[in-house]
Structure 1
């Protein structure tokens, strides 16, 4: 179960980071078979100049790309399955070009990036993976016509350019990356959205009864960050000297977390949340950690309304 939670986090994470720069399909179904590509990305040419904010991940996204992230080390068969998806996509593009009587340049065929925490030397050598000097440690390119690279996240150097990939690592590698993320200026364009996704991951792991020690440590690391974030939002509102600003800031934070946890919230529920006091919003911020469905939110709001009516 926890693997699927992490898989969803990886897809959401890559989608949020890449969508300012192009079209993201996550997941994308391969037409020929019932297979799904985790993330299929097509860059917008006018936006690629700004991809340097994502370091090596941004460099990977300067051309059409398929991203296949793995929580556990990718096996020989799983890597082969990823390559087969790429070949299906390539064939579909070529068939479409043939129908339209046009020639597709190689640059329009996606590059496959397999993101795995670790990989044995036997797997890398078995697929003919080789590092390139201009990409650094941990990025292994398969022979040219495969258009594939295996990215071994735990072998990446701990430098700012690899941060956005190391977030998808495990254990100490991921926790170190989270520390670096928190240390970034609050004005960084991707710090806020990444923290929100991590908070959502924490909440999903928290309600799972059978999580691994590694995941339990991740939950413990993220819990104080969530509390600090809420306190920071309150302080920012106070510094503005406006009670309304404080309440709106709390509302926005709660709504973002609810959307991450339960999906898009109905407008009628949003209106009810906007009517809550700051104290009620703070209570909701704690209660939503136990919500599983929208019905849990509706029940909580009804209980709050009943309490308010009784007091009146």
Structure 2
């Protein structure tokens, strides 16, 4: 009934389609991480990265600051993954709660005030380092401005992370 009501109201003002199908293309997540029970000490070893990886998450690193469209495309991938996880749980007769769904971390060399403000992201300094901007809770998305993170030298030693190419 709502579609018919909107159609009646809007049809004289422009083009209107009801039940428009959207063909989705295959998308690829850069990094999807699900911690194991043994990963409870990652925060101590990996600092901020360990704090981010304490729960299931998606990492989308960028070489340059992402555009608003690129951020929304990352969110689209996240929400497609959420849908996949929810469908899988339903098939297996399991229940997923909000906390089970992964968080998106967009890693950028920098983030402009316009990008941060445009997505309503804010710093939560009581929980996170400066430079971590969390979008409103239900978006499950954060922007990480790497140039704004505090500098920690020798915090993670070479022996802790092995040989990184």
**Range into which the TM-score falls when normalised by the shorter chain:** 0.7 to 0.9
Determine helix, strand or coil for the equivalent of 2:107.
Answer: strand
What is the aligned partner in structure 2 of residue 68 from structure 1? 60
Task: Answer 1 or 2: higher relative contact order, Cα 8 Å, separation at least 6.
Answer: 2
User: Gaps spanning 5+ residues in structure 1: where?
Assistant: 1-31, 161-179, 198-312
Q: 2:49 aligns with which of 22, 43, 57?
A: 57
For the residue of structure 2 that corresponds to 1:91, the secondary structure is: helix
Quick check: 1:126 aligned with 2:97? Answer: no
Q: Is 2:163 the counterpart of 1:193?
A: yes
Asked if the contact 2:42/2:51 (under 8 Å) is kept, the reply is no
1:101 Cα offset (Å): 2.4
2:105 is paired with a residue of what secondary structure?
strand
From 61, 68, 89, the counterpart of 1:97 = 89
The 2-side partners of 1:95 and 1:55 are apart by 33
Q: Deviations along 1:17-68, whole A, 9 cap, x unmatched?
A: xxxxxxxxxxxxxxx6321100000100122224421110011111001000
Match of 2:36 among 29, 44, 47: 44
Q: Which has the larger radius of gyration?
A: 1
Alignment counterpart, residue 145 of structure 1, candidates 138, 151, 154 = 138
Q: CA deviation at 1:96?
A: 1.3
Q: TM-score, normalised by structure 2?
A: 0.79
Q: Following the alignment from structure 2 to structure 1, what is the Cα–Cα distance between the partners of residues 130 and 157?
A: 27
Paired residues, number: 141
CA RMSD of aligned residues (A): 1.8
| Greater helix proportion | 1
Q: Counterpart of 1:34? A: 26
